[in-house]
Amino acid sequence: MTPTWVQLANLLAAVLFIFALKGLSSPKSARNGNLLGAAGAVLATAVLFVSGIPLSNILLILAAVLIGSAIGWISARKVQMTQMPQLVALFNGVGGGAAALVAVIEYLEVGGENKISLAATVFTVVIGSVSFSGSIITFLKLQELMTSRPVIIPAGKWVTMLVAALTVVGAVWLVISPQIWLLVALLVLSLIFGMLFVLPVGGADVPIVISLLNAFTGLSVAASGYVLNNVLLIIAGTLVGASGTLLTKEMAKAMGRPITSTLFGAFSGTTAGNTSTGGDRPVRSGGPNDVAIMLGFANKVILVPGYGLAVAQAQGTLRELADLLTERGVEVDYAIHPVAGRMPGHMNVLLAEASVPYEQLKEMDDINPEFATTDVVLVVGANDVVNPAARTDKSAPIYGMPILNVDQAQQVVFLKRSMRPGFAGIENEILYDQKTMLLFGDAKDSLNKVVSALKNL
Amino acid sequence: MDGVALLTIFILSIFVGFEVVSKVSTVLHTPLMSGANAIHGIVLIGAITVTGSATNPLEITLGVIAILLGAINLVGGFVVTDRMLEMFKPKKPVARSDDGGAA
């Protein structure tokens, strides 16, 4: 059996994982926490190779570890920070896929003698596969390789329920009477269910789904640990399952909607409410000079950055604008919606990348009372998080999500590329308001023009 | 190890998992999710174990794929989390005086 010192090393790795999660919960200790987790992972993997437990195919194993590590390392290093959410989704998916494969191989090697162990194997296959295919769909949505809108399949609710029922029946049947074709069928059913589960989720809710699938992968890893009698896998998987579940709940709370409506809302067939009005309504558009004057002579300005800002790589230019305004004696704050960007906290990461002082970033609950006394709000590349439809329009997919109350400010300036609605695909009434001015163009380009106009003021 | 011992470990881990991430500010939701994501990449050692006892070509092939996927998850997860957190480096506390001046 496993030597005692190996078990102790695994225990140490498990403790390091706990410290990692604990550390990640506070800004000061986060980076060290993550490094502790990585150290735990290296320790556990290294110990496995020198433990004396016989490993056949050792060269293949080493080659696969090295190649996989290189792929992971390089893609994590190369990715643009704006595209980081989909990379996390992808990593989560491959983790789920790995857990499912481990369970399949264990089944092939051991068979279904022990029923409890077999049940854990089947659980791992199902949940791991759901996490795999679901994560791939979230990746495609975020990468915009497919539409980010909810995909409504005709009678999708019934199809999904049928597939879910078949999956459960198949799983039970497989435990009772283990047969290889049934395992393959179950694998396919689970993969289909994972896709059906994520397809109807709207773009803005995708982060919540990633977090949920992350918890799923954790649970499937824990179950695979039971199958393999490996305590470290049980602890690590369960930690992720539990913390991921809590995190999912927190995120859903930040969006102001119960998790069930996120996941099943689209099934009821409510698509974006009032899209009928559209393009022919008059809007007030202005030039960079108008915007510079409004901002330069204001007492108090709040900047609302959104994903569009990050896509245009304009965080640095926005900071330049903020610095200029501060020099002129204008009070400047950044209002950060909890789900600005594509994931909770994503915008903080993106602005920190542009060295925006941490202290100027105000969270939604702190900044919302300030809008009423603000002269100008500058919204750059954000839309859904300032859309009052979330307060008033019960048919809107974002109804109930807490928003930044920019409509209470004296004047609102939107930097937008076009009148195209935001990620959630809903018309925003503020755009047509009297006090709103629109400056069309690429965010970085527009900000540069405003900055140079401001310098000449 | 017997089933009850494993179940005990499982249940206690649930509580630890809930406890360590309670009261996290939204600022850190993304890095935390990413870090947790990296941790379940430890399924890599499960993949190595089953591949180490695989005997036929099908098992070995699936095992190698599982190892590749697990390693991508584990290494990529920790590296991308570190990149996110790189940006939370404590900066010089100049903001204090800024605050005073603006107000």
CA A174 – CA A114 distance, rounded (Å): 13
A73 with B79: Cβ contact below 8 A: yes
CB A317 within 8 A of CB A311: no
Q: Hey, which residues 11-30 in chain A have their CB within 8 Å of chain B? A: 13, 17-18, 20-22, 24-28, 30
Inform me whether the pLDDT recorded for A378 exceeds 50: yes
Residue B92 lies in a domain: no
pLDDT at A203: 65
pLDDT at A423: 62
Inform me whether the pLDDT recorded for A433 exceeds 50: yes
pLDDT at A262: 65
pLDDT at A61: 96
Tell me how close the Cα of B77 comes to any Cα of chain A, in angstroms. 7
Number of domains in chain B: 1
pLDDT at A147: 77
pLDDT at A225: 94
CA A30 – CA A26 distance, rounded (Å): 6
Average pLDDT over residues A92-111: 94
**A235 — contact with chain B (CB < 8 Å)?**
yes
Inform me whether the pLDDT recorded for A434 exceeds 90: no
- A258-262, A408-412, A447-451, B47-51, range with the lowest pLDDT: A258-262
pLDDT at A273: 40
Helix pair A156-176, A180-198: axis angle to 10 deg: 150
**The token pair that represents B75 in the structure block:** 């290494």
A251: which chain B residues are within 8 Å (Cβ-Cβ)? Answer: 29
CA A238 – CA A111 distance, rounded (Å): 25
pLDDT at A263: 65
- Residue B24's pLDDT band (cuts 50, 70, 90): confident
Q: For chains A and B, what is the number of CB pairs under 8 angstroms?
A: 379
Q: How many Cβ atoms from other residues are within 10 Å of residue A86's Cβ?
A: 23
Tell me how close the Cα of A234 comes to any Cα of chain B, in angstroms. 6
B16: which chain A residues are within 8 Å (Cβ-Cβ)? Answer: 18, 239, 242
Residue B22 lies in a domain: no
Tell me how close the Cα of B99 comes to any Cα of chain A, in angstroms. 9
Distances (CA, A) of A110 to A171, A180, A238, B3: 18, 12, 24, 18
**B58 — contact with chain A (CB < 8 Å)?**
yes
pLDDT, one tens digit per residue, over B39-90 is 999 999 999 999 999 999 999 999 999 999 999 999 999 999 999 888 766 5
Q: Which amino acid is at A262?
A: T
**A402 — contact with chain B (CB < 8 Å)?**
no
Distances (CA, A) of A273 to A276, A278, A382, A439, B44: 8, 12, 19, 26, 46
pLDDT at A265: 54
Q: What is the DSSP string of A408-438?
A: GSSEEEEEESSS---TT----GGGGSTTEEE
CB B36 within 8 A of CB A211: no
Inform me whether the pLDDT recorded for B15 exceeds 90: yes
Residue B81 lies in a domain: yes
Which backbone phi and psi does A59 adopt, to 5 degrees? Answer: -70, -45
- Residue A204's pLDDT band (cuts 50, 70, 90): low
pLDDT, one tens digit per residue, over A4-47 is 999 999 999 999 999 999 998 888 888 999 999 999 999 999 99
Q: How many Cβ atoms from other residues are within 10 Å of residue A364's Cβ?
A: 19
Query: Which residue in B66, B68, B10 sits closest to A104, CA to CA?
Result: B66
CB A305 within 8 A of CB A364: no
pLDDT at A363: 84
Burial environment of residue A279 by CB neighbours within 10 A (0 to 12, 13 to 18, 19 or more) = exposed
CA A448 – CA A318 distance, rounded (Å): 9
Question: What is the ipTM metric for this complex?
Answer: 0.87
Which residue among A384, A393, A433, A445 is the active-site one?
A: A384
For tokens 């009821």, what's the residue?
A268
pLDDT at A17: 96
- A90-104, A153-167, A209-223, range with the lowest pLDDT: A153-167
A85: which chain B residues are within 8 Å (Cβ-Cβ)? Answer: 30
Tell me how close the Cα of B75 comes to any Cα of chain A, in angstroms. 5
Average pLDDT over residues A372-393: 87
Average pLDDT over residues A50-61: 90
**The token pair that represents A433 in the structure block:** 């308001």
- Residue A343's pLDDT band (cuts 50, 70, 90): confident
pLDDT at A267: 47
Inform me whether the pLDDT recorded for A279 exceeds 90: no
Q: Is A375 a catalytic residue?
A: no
Name the residue facing B21 among A21, A65, A222 (closest C-beta): A21
Residue B45 lies in a domain: yes
Inform me whether the pLDDT recorded for B25 exceeds 60: yes
Q: If residue A304 lies in a helix (H) or strand (E), which one and from where to where? A: strand A300-305
**B4 — contact with chain A (CB < 8 Å)?**
no
A243 with B17: Cβ contact below 8 A: yes
Of B96 and B7, more confident:
B7
Task: Please provide the average confidence, as pLDDT, over all residues in chain A.
Answer: 87
A208-217, A303-312, A383-392, range with greatest mean pLDDT: A208-217
Inform me whether the pLDDT recorded for A193 exceeds 90: yes
pLDDT at A172: 94
Average pLDDT over residues A166-172: 95
CA A325 – CA A292 distance, rounded (Å): 10
**The token pair that represents A316 in the structure block:** 């640095």
Average pLDDT over residues A361-383: 89
Q: What residues make up the domain containing B71?
A: 30-86
CB A398 within 8 A of CB A383: no
